[in-house]
Structure 1
Amino acid sequence: MVNVDTTNVQPKLKISGLGKRYGEVVALEPTDLTVDAGEFVTLLGPSGSGKTTLLQMISGLTEPTTGTLHVDGRDETATPVHRRDMGLVFQHYALFPHMTVGENIAFPLKMRGTPASEVRERVRETLAKVQLEQYGDRFPRELSGGQQQRVALARCFVYRPQVVLMDEPLGALDKNLREHMQFEIKRLHREFGTTVIYVTHDQEEALVLSDRICLMNHARVEQIGTPREIYSRPKSIFSARFIGLSNLFVGKVSDAGDGRIVVANSNGSFEARQENCGPLVNGKAGLVLRPEQLRPGPAGAGENDITGTVTEIIYVGSDTRLVLTLQDGETLSVRHDPAATLPALGDSLTYHWPIDVAVVVS
Structure 2
Amino acid sequence: MLAKPEQATRPKLLVDGLAKSYGATVALKPTHVAVQPGEFLTLLGPSGSGKTTLLQMISGLVLPTEGRLFVDGSNETDTPVHKRDIGLVFQHYALFPHLTVAENIGFPLKMRGKSRAEVDRQVKGALDMVQLGHLAGRFPRELSGGQQQRVALARCFVYQPSIILMDEPLGALDKKLREHMQFEIKRLHRQTGATIIYVTHDQEEALALSDRICLMNHAMVEQIGPPQEIYSRPRTAFAADFIGISNIFRGRVEIGSGGVAHLSTESGRYRIDGTGLSNNAEMALVVRPEHLELGSTGANEISGRVAEVVYAGSETRLLVDITAGELVTVRVLPGKPLPSIGETIRLSWAPEAAVLVTP
Taking structure 2 as the reference length, what is the TM-score of the superposition?
Answer: 0.95
- Please give the secondary structure, in 2, of the residue aligned with 1:339: coil
- Please give the secondary structure, in 1, of the residue aligned with 2:223: strand
- Is the CA contact 2:44–2:202 (under 8 Å) kept in the aligned structure 1? yes
Partner of 2:326: 330
- Please give the secondary structure, in 2, of the residue aligned with 1:103: helix
Identity of aligned residues (%): 60
Name stretches of at least 5 consecutive residues in structure 1 with no aligned partner. Answer: 1-6
2:352 corresponds to which of 348, 352, 356: 356
Deviation string for 1:218-239 (max 9, x for gaps)?
Answer: 1111110110111111111111
For residues 213 and 183 of structure 1, what CA distance do their matches in structure 2 show?
Answer: 17
- Match runs of 1:268-347 below 5 Å: 268-274=268-274, 283-298=281-296, 301-347=297-343
- Please give the secondary structure, in 2, of the residue aligned with 1:285: strand
| Ranges of 4+ aligned residues in structure 1 off by more than 6 Å | 279-282
For residues 358 and 180 of structure 1, what CA distance do their matches in structure 2 show?
Answer: 33
For residues 48 and 194 of structure 1, what CA distance do their matches in structure 2 show?
Answer: 28
- Please give the secondary structure, in 2, of the residue aligned with 1:190: helix
Partner of 2:201: 201
For residues 290 and 74 of structure 1, what CA distance do their matches in structure 2 show?
Answer: 43
- Match runs of 1:92-103 below 5 Å: 92-103=92-103
For residues 274 and 354 of structure 2, what CA distance do their matches in structure 1 show?
Answer: 10
1:209: how far off? 0.3
- Please give the secondary structure, in 2, of the residue aligned with 1:110: helix
Partner of 1:107: 107
For residues 280 and 70 of structure 1, what CA distance do their matches in structure 2 show?
Answer: 41
- RMSD value over aligned CA atoms? 1.8
Partner of 1:4: none
CA gap 1:218/1:8 in 2 versus in 1, 3 angstroms: closer
- Is the CA contact 2:253–2:279 (under 8 Å) kept in the aligned structure 1? no
Aligned residues: 353
- Is the CA contact 1:182–1:209 (under 8 Å) kept in the aligned structure 2? yes
For residues 52 and 315 of structure 1, what CA distance do their matches in structure 2 show?
Answer: 35
CA gap 1:260/1:10 in 2 versus in 1, 3 angstroms: farther
Name stretches of at least 5 consecutive residues in structure 2 with no aligned partner. Answer: 1-6
- Is the CA contact 2:255–2:279 (under 8 Å) kept in the aligned structure 1? no
- Is the CA contact 2:90–2:169 (under 8 Å) kept in the aligned structure 1? yes
Letter in 2 for 1:110: K
- Is the CA contact 1:253–1:264 (under 8 Å) kept in the aligned structure 2? yes
CA gap 1:282/1:200 in 2 versus in 1, 3 angstroms: farther
- Match runs of 1:67-146 below 5 Å: 67-146=67-146
1:166 aligns with 2:166: yes
For residues 356 and 230 of structure 1, what CA distance do their matches in structure 2 show?
Answer: 17
- Please give the secondary structure, in 2, of the residue aligned with 1:215: strand
- Please give the secondary structure, in 2, of the residue aligned with 1:64: coil
